Amino acid sequence: MLCDNKSPRERAWGEMLKKNIFSVGEVADATQIKRYKVSTFVQFLLRKGALKIVRAKAPYLYAVKNDEVLQFGKGQRRGSGITHHRKVNKPRRRMWNTMRVLRKFSRIDLMMAAEVASSTVSSFTQRLEKAGYIRKICLEGNKKGECAMYLLVRNTGPDSPVDRGKQGMWDVNEQKIYPFKESANE
């Protein structure tokens, strides 16, 4: 299976076409592609209208909606091919990108899409809320452990904000710091 010259996305798409209903984990396991890469591809296909959500609760299930032939290749490359890498916190970057795509989300959405622990999501969302990046828009109850919905109100760019302790959140995109508010509530 891995000996053919197909890209990971082509292999994932082929696996999706074989199944009627599938999850990200099933496709990742069958193709030996990392879950977060399959998840990113699924989000891309959802935006393009090629997939539909069959079950919107964990584990999320999808089905092929439009099985037209997708074009796979190198795509449009920009720049000279020289990239400058800087150290990034990958779980936070995945959560940030998920927030940017969904705009309205719950902590469970972040856990599923970014494949991170509940404590990581909780810590990051609390810090972002205190710095004014996200806002809690509704509670589905007042009991501890119930799911709140959040809205991304400050989408400053592709790089996730960096926690600077008591100072606030450093925005890499805007090159400025957003100080923490006294209380995240109201």
Backbone angles phi, psi at 78, to 5 degrees: -115, 150
Of 20, 49, 64, the residue that ends a domain is 64
Kindly state whether residue 157 falls inside one of the protein's structural domains.
yes
Which range marks the domain in which residue 19 is found?
A: 8-64
Residues 162 and 97 in one domain: yes
CB atoms within 10 A of CB 27: 24
Instruction: Tell me how many domains the chain contains.
Output: 2
Which carries the bigger pLDDT value, residue 170 or residue 66? 170
Whether residue 77 lies inside any domain: the answer is no
> Which of 64, 82, 106 is the C-terminal boundary of a domain?
64
User: How confident is the model at residue 184, as a pLDDT?
Assistant: 45
Tell me, yes or no, whether 161 and 115 share the same domain: yes
Return the pLDDT at 1: 47
Record the tokens describing residue 141, joined without a space.
């109850």
Residue 120 and residue 163 share a domain: yes
pLDDT at 71 over 60: yes
Asked if 104 and 149 touch (Cβ cutoff 8 Å), the reply is yes
pLDDT of residue 38: 93
Residue partners of 2: CB distance under 8 A and separation at least 6: 32
d(CA 166, CA 154): 20
Asked whether residue 84 is assigned to any structural domain, the reply reads: no
18 HSE (CA, 13 A, CB side): 11
Closest by Cα among 54, 55, 24 to 41: 24
Q: Quick check: is 169 in a domain?
A: yes
Residue 157 belongs to domain with CATH number = 1.10.10.10
State both tokens at 170: 């450093």
Q: Tell the burial category of 119 from Cβ atoms under 10 Å away from its Cβ (0-12, 13-18, 19+).
A: exposed
pTM: 0.50
